[in-house]
């Protein structure tokens, strides 16, 4: 009886070792490559999950991949706005941002969410550094008028990746809040997806991974069986046109398209609420979520 239990334990351990070896070709292939990861707001649901995502990011770093993190913080921003008696408003997934809202956005993103991610990563043995688009002139914003005047909503006018490269060279993990300064000296709120796409493009990243609060893109949002595993640019644009892709998924898809056009090899929209979804996507044959392809 005892011998059987022992044998089972050994088999289990061998199974675990097998899983590690299965990752070998992926580790070989991705060593030294840059992965841009967009995390949160809506996928950053509970603390336990956040810790798991941070642990996975540290693991990526230690097997030789260079993760660069861009984060959102929608729900946290909404919480503070509501406390101030302001109602959050969105147009096509973009937050309507008056001056007071802009101050809240910057405080919450750079002060709270950014530092929380940094501290979690550091706790798991990574070396994270928090930045906003303002630091080192990383992102220059322009006023985004493509959806009408939404206030201090910016688009990415220019990216200067020098500070990222400096940090990555010394094995730091950059954690970037999507706030940037415009040539007019004003502070702009840029959708985190948009910033992630632009930075991935400028870095010539191997992968852009967007962790969100759905499994991926659905052909019919109400039918969870309609998850699309791979979507090309032309079809994606037609789905936006038809309203199949809507709300917060619009900037996500546009940013994947932008990244691909700038030379990023692979873009994925995956479920950030699923434990280790990133590791499944990167280190196993099992593709998950939706891949946006040329
Ligand atoms: N076709 C679609 N498939 C999946 N999600 C969609 C689709 N169209 C719109 N969405 C919406 O996009 C949301 C993800 O964007 P968003 O709320 O901005 O999340 P995040 O905080 O991760 O950026 C989903 O929760 C869903 O409500
Ligand atoms: Mg969003």
The enclosing domain of 139 has a CATH number of 3.40.1160.10
Is 261 contained in some domain?
Answer: yes
Is 1 contained in some domain?
Answer: no
Mean pLDDT for all residues in the chain? 95
Ligand 1 atom closest to residue 41's alpha carbon, by position in its atom list: 21
What's this model's pTM, rounded to 2 decimal places? 0.95
C-alpha 72, offset from chain centre = 8
Q: How far is the CA of 291 from the centre of ligand 1 (A)?
A: 15
Is 4 contained in some domain?
Answer: no
Is 18 contained in some domain?
Answer: no
Model pLDDT, residue 92? 82
Is 24 contained in some domain?
Answer: no
Model pLDDT, residue 266? 96
Residues with CB under 6 A from ligand 1: 41-43, 72, 74, 93, 193, 212-214, 217-218, 221, 244-249
| Closest listed residue to residue 139, CA positions, set 213, 192, 211 | 192
**Where does the pLDDT of residue 90 fall: very low under 50, low under 70, confident under 90, or very high at 90 and above?**
very high
Separation between Cα atoms, residue 136 and residue 166, nearest integer Å = 11
Min mean pLDDT across 38-47, 78-87, 115-124, 125-134 is at 38-47
Q: Which ligand is nearest the CA of 217, by number? A: 1
Is 14 contained in some domain?
Answer: no
Calculate the alpha carbon distances from 57 to 69, 122, 202, 204, 277 in Å: 9, 11, 21, 19, 11
Is 10 contained in some domain?
Answer: no
Is 145 contained in some domain?
Answer: yes
Counted domains in the chain: 1
Separation between Cα atoms, residue 175 and residue 163, nearest integer Å = 12
What is the extent of the structural domain holding 195? 33-293
pLDDT value at 1 more than 70: no
């Amino acid at each position: 009886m005892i011998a059987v239990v022992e044998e089972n334990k050994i088999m289990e351990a061998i199974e675990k070792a097998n899983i590690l070896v299965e990752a070998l070709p992926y580790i070989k292939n991705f060593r030294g490559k840059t992965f841009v990861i967009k995390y949160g707001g809506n996928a950053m649901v509970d603390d336990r999950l956040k810790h798991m995502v941070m642990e996975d990011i540290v693991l990526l770093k230690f097997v030789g991949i260079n993760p660069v993190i861009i984060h959102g913080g929608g729900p946290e921003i909404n919480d503070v706005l509501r406390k101030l008696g302001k109602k959050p408003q969105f147009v096509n997934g973009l937050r309507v941002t008056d001056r007071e809202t802009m101050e809240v956005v910057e405080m919450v993103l750079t002060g709270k969410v950014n530092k929380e991610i940094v501290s979690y990563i550091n706790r798991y043995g990574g070396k994270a550094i928090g930045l906003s688009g303002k630091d080192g002139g990383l992102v220059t914003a322009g006023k985004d008028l493509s959806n009408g005047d939404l206030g201090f909503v910016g688009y990415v006018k220019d990216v200067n990746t020098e500070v990222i490269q400096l940090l990555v060279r010394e094995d730091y993990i950059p954690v970037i809040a999507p706030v940037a300064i415009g040539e007019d000296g004003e502070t702009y709120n840029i959708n985190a997806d948009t910033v992630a796409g632009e930075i991935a493009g400028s870095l010539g990243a191997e992968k852009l991974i967007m962790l969100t609060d759905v499994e991926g893109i659905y052909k019919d949002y109400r039918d969870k069986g309609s998850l699309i595993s791979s979507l090309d640019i032309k079809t994606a644009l037609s789905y936006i046109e038809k309203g199949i892709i809507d709300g917060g998924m619009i900037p996500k898809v546009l940013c994947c398209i932008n990244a691909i056009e700038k030379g990023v090899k692979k873009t994925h929209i995956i479920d950030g609420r699923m434990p280790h979804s990133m590791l499944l996507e990167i280190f196993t044959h099992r593709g998950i979520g939706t891949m946006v392809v040329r």
